[in-house]
Amino acid sequence: MKTTISHCSPIGPISITWDSETATIDRIGIGDHYAPATMGAVKGSASASVAVLQGQLDAYFTDAHFSFTLEGLTLNGLTAFQRRVVDCVCIIPSGRTRSYAEIAAEAGSPGAARAVGRVMARNRYPIVIPCHRVITRGGGLGGYTGGLKIKRSLLSFESGQAFTLTPEFAASRTPALAI
């Protein structure tokens, strides 16, 4: 059975959907692809990997240079090319960007920039697999699962620029932890 919970963040609510039978995280939803939490979800019923992910999301929004683990994420079903793309994207340092064309070349398929874009558009784990760090060759934002406003905010946050907290997140954090 799949269950979704909502996690508070500076960019707005993040939904985390997991499969209780396999104890794996199915997807992360943000912005335009946010899924409301399952009604009646029992607090504490989430798998251990969900708790780890929630802690990692909090750590990321406290320190943009935090590195995520891929614990509890299922990357099954990816082609060899898609997996190479994901691997290349996961090593882009916080505060840096790469173009779709650069990722295609690094993944061993120069000229496959559009295919990289399709892989990024299907990324089920935004932020953790940092597809927001992939931009166009000319420096444009390209697209983003959560919307361009969120992509711009994440890139600004990671580069140390001003970051505006959502009121819900600011109210849920002590001043020492606020970004």
Cα gap 166→31, rounded to integer Å: 12
The rounded distance, in Å, linking the Cα atoms of 179 and 166 is 11
Please state the length of the chain: 179
Catalytic residue among 8, 88, 90, 131: 131
Please give the Cα distance from 131 to 49 (Å, whole number).
21
Measure the CA–CA gap between 91 and 133, rounded to whole angstroms.
Answer: 10
131 an active-site residue?
A: yes
Please state the φ and ψ torsions of residue 108, each to the nearest 5 degrees. 85, 15
Contact between 136 and 114 (Cβ < 8 Å): no
CB 53 within 8 A of CB 25: yes
Angstrom distance (rounded) from CA 170 to CA 175: 8
Active site residues: 131
